[in-house]
Amino acid sequence: MLNKKTPVMNEPTYRDTLYTVDKRGNRRWVYCDIIKGKFYYWRAIVAYGLVVFYLALPWLGLVRLDFGERKFVFFGGVFWSDDTIFLALIFGGLAIALFFFTALIGRVWCGWACPETVFLEFVYRPIERLIEGNAAKRRKLDLQPWSLQKIAKKLLKHGLFAFVTWIIATSTLAYFTGPERVLEMITDWPWKNPIPFMWNIAILGVFAFQFGWFREQFCTVLCPYARFQSVLMDSHSLVVGYDSRRGEPRGKLRGRKKKDPAQGDCVDCGLCVRVCPTGIDIRNGIQLECISCCTCIDACDSIMDSIGKPRGLIRYSTEEGLSGNKVKILRPRVAVYGVLLFLFVGIFGYLLVHRELSEFQVLRGALDKPFEVLPDGAITNHLHIRISNKSDAPHKYTFYVPGESSIQAILPLNPFPVSPGKVETAPLFISFPRKILSGGTKKITIEMRSEDGFRASQEVTLLGPER
Ligand code: SF4
Ligand code: SF4
């Protein structure tokens, strides 16, 4: 419900103005009613599940973004800063998944899983309704001059908002610092942990602005996904839509003939508009502001039930479906995005399964002096060895040349210790008798063994005098 006149169908300015901005560019505050139908309950289950999931993940140690250590933990897997291929695949895969699901099921993300919708509709608005009452009471309160009662209600509401935000901000911080550190910080004085404290204050400020005031403006004005989703969708994508063929011509119930075939099913009660969190009238067609939250479906279904008409005047459908045309699920764009998504997921899974937590690489040392002949006639090759330990524990690595007793691998330390998540480089000297050379070269295998039994090998060509 808007606090001024809501535009009606065919109004000339309908397509070039936002519903929540008046002709003078001022904001029209949305006072939406609540209606609890089938979709509301399903969305509530999903939303509260997501909130619990988000809040619990860092405390269970399942996700950690430790930028200081350049370490990222995802459900038990530890990734380090040089695992960029995984990061690229995750972000690439998420982008393709967004394309694929938007082409297929439209803005389901916006209405069901976006943090903006989840927190606003299922955390902050219920608090607001609890304190300030239904839409009519909230509007009345806002229009009232300031009084003790109004100040008390606003203080209580924003105090509760701040408390809930503090819980969310603390869990968000735990994603970066880990739960033990967050517990230490929240039980200590703020000036002993100034940076995390400032982060908490910043999150409180952003949430207070977003959920206390900015609200649906984020979806209609700022969100980049909302901007380009119309390019990703086509007339076969799933949308929440009004069946104008069935609903029009609309008309109030009062004064209708009981069975008038010329009359549409819409009784023009306006409930679908009053419950819309972005303040739009879905009967005007598919619009940028619609976040596919299904609230208007619940609203209209309740009206259809009460007047004995079939549900679904507003429903999940497609533009083609609402026009009475055949709906195609498999279209070229869906197939292309689907194949790309499959490839991303497949490559990610393959690399993850075959990922080695310890790796080494042998690099040649001084290129201008590939070998040295020692006074006793033996040859040395000066190499470098690069060892990476991607596991979450320290390891010691032993290097040797298997099956060649006359060839020695010499490192400053052998076994060589490497801390978790670190990459170390060490000089490696290979010493061998001249007689093993053939034409000035000899191929050998260098093996690495860690104390927990992991083995890896690399082939290296030794160089020496040709004769
Ligand atoms: S038009 Fe319906 S589905 Fe779209 S945002 Fe409004 S209530 Fe939600
Ligand atoms: S809720 Fe249904 S019947 Fe009422 S105005 Fe909206 S579309 Fe028409």
Question: What's the chain look like in SS3?
Answer: CECCCCCCCCCCCCCCCCCCECCCCCECCECCCCCCCHHHHHHHHHHHHHHHHHHHHHHCCCEEEECCCCEEEECCEEEECCCHHHHHHHHHHHHHHHHHHHHHHCCHHHHHCCHHHHHHHHHHHHHHHHHHCCHHHHHHHHHCCCCHHHHHHHHHHHHHHHHHHHHHHHHHHHHHHCHHHHHHHHCCCHHHCHHHHHHHHHHHHHHHHHHHHHCCHHHHHHCHHHHHHHHHCCCCCCEEEECHHHHCCCCCCCCCCCCCCCCCCCCCCCHHHHCCCCCCCHHHCCCCCCCCCCHHHHHHHHHHHHCCCCCCCEEEECHHHHCCCCCCCCCHHHHHHHHHHHHHHHHHHHHHHCCCCEEEEEEECCCCCCCEECCCCCEEEEEEEEEEECCCCCEEEEEECCCCCCCEEECCCCCEEECCCCEEEEEEEEEECHHHCECCEEEEEEEEEECCCCEEEEEEEEECCCC
Homologous superfamily of domain range 358-463: Immunoglobulins (2.60.40.10)
Q: Where do the structural domains in the chain lie, given as residue ranges?
A: 1-355, 358-463
302-343 pLDDT, tens digit each: 999 999 999 999 999 999 999 999 989 899 999 999 999 999
CA–centroid distance, residue 187 to ligand 1 (Å): 43
- Ligand closest to 9 (CA) is 2
Report how far ligand 2's centroid is from the alpha carbon of 6 (Å). 14
Distance in Å, CA 311 to ligand 2 centroid: 11
Question: Is the pTM of the predicted complex or chain greater than 0.85?
Answer: no
pLDDT at 364: 84
CB-based contact 43:51 (threshold 8 Å): no
For residue 209, give the amino acid letter. Answer: F
The rounded Å distance from CA 276 to ligand 2 centre is: 12
Task: Work out whether the CA dihedral 92, 94, 97, 101 comes out positive or negative.
Answer: negative
Answer yes or no: is the C-beta of 300 below 6 A from any ligand 2 atom. yes
> What is the pLDDT, as a whole number, of residue 247?
95
Q: Nearest residue CA, atom 6 of ligand 1?
A: 276
Q: Which ligand is nearest to the CA of 106?
A: 1
313 Cβ inside 6 Å of ligand 2: yes
Q: Is 328 within 8 Å of 334 (Cβ atoms)?
A: no
Neighbour-count burial for 37-70, b at 16+ CB within 10 Å, e otherwise = bebbeebeeebeebbeebeebbeeeeebeeeeee
Low-confidence ranges of the chain (pLDDT < 50): 1-13
Verify whether ligand 2 is closer than 6 Å to residue 272 (CB atom): yes
Cβ of 395 closer than 6 Å to ligand 2, yes or no, is no
The CA 282 to ligand 1 mean position distance, Å, reads 7
